[in-house]
Amino acid sequence: MRPPGWTSLRGIVAATVALGAFFLLAYTQIKPQTQGKEQIVAAIIENWQQTHPAAQRFVILPDFNNDAVLDKDTNLIWELSPTATSVTWNEARATCTTRMTGGQKGWRLPAPAEMRSLVGPAVDSPIPNIPPGHPFLNIQPTSYWTVVPEANQPSYARYVDAFLGNVLSFIKIYTYPVWCVRGPIKQDEK
């Protein structure tokens, strides 16, 4: 005669073995996919760069003394050379508002979506992920302030990580460089 609970214990052991076998099989099926992650990311970047070739996308503007660049994908005008000096968010806003680049006024901080439009697909890179062949000068290996304050935290504002394109928030007294833009801001881009 079997001790009480023997059948249920045997069932639990059998279920555990079956579950372990399932996860082992699943792992061996998934593992090759994660090993090819670098190839997948490289293919995404290559496709993105072919779809948005910098030589056709960006135009240096003579009307701005060649100090500004038109992005034909977004119709925004960017400074050719962003400010390298890191400043607080309030200083960044004032910097753009008073900016006279290429003899033109009317500059502002970009919205997060506008800033992200310059950054390609997310990659882990030691330099900002601006499309190869871009005409911009003086790009800093850091993040850039955007125009958007954080609604639920008044002492915070949003910035864009120029490496991965992530939109994050940080305290306004921290310092990041400024990259001013011209063009109408769309409410859905904030």
Do the Cβ atoms of 181 and 107 come closer than 8 Å?
yes
Written as one string, the DSSP assignment of 91-124 is HHHHHHHH--BTTB---BPPPHHHHHTTS-S---
Do the Cβ atoms of 109 and 96 come closer than 8 Å?
yes
Q: Which amino acid is at 153?
A: Q
Does 1 have pLDDT greater than 80? no
Q: Which range has the worst mean pLDDT, 25-34, 53-62, 180-189?
A: 25-34
Task: Tell me the percentage of the chain whose pLDDT exceeds 70.
Answer: 64
The pTM (predicted TM-score) of the whole model is: 0.69
Measured between alpha carbons, how far is 172 from 89 in angstroms, rounded to an integer? 5
- Tokens coding 95: 């910097």
Round the average pLDDT of the chain to a whole number and report it. Answer: 77
Burial label for 25, CB within 10 Å (0-12, 13-18, 19+), is exposed
Measured between alpha carbons, how far is 145 from 114 in angstroms, rounded to an integer? 12
Does 57 have pLDDT greater than 60? yes
Nearest to 132 by CA among 65, 24, 45: 45
Per-residue pLDDT, 43:
65
- Tokens coding 15: 């279920």
> Beta partners for 68?
79
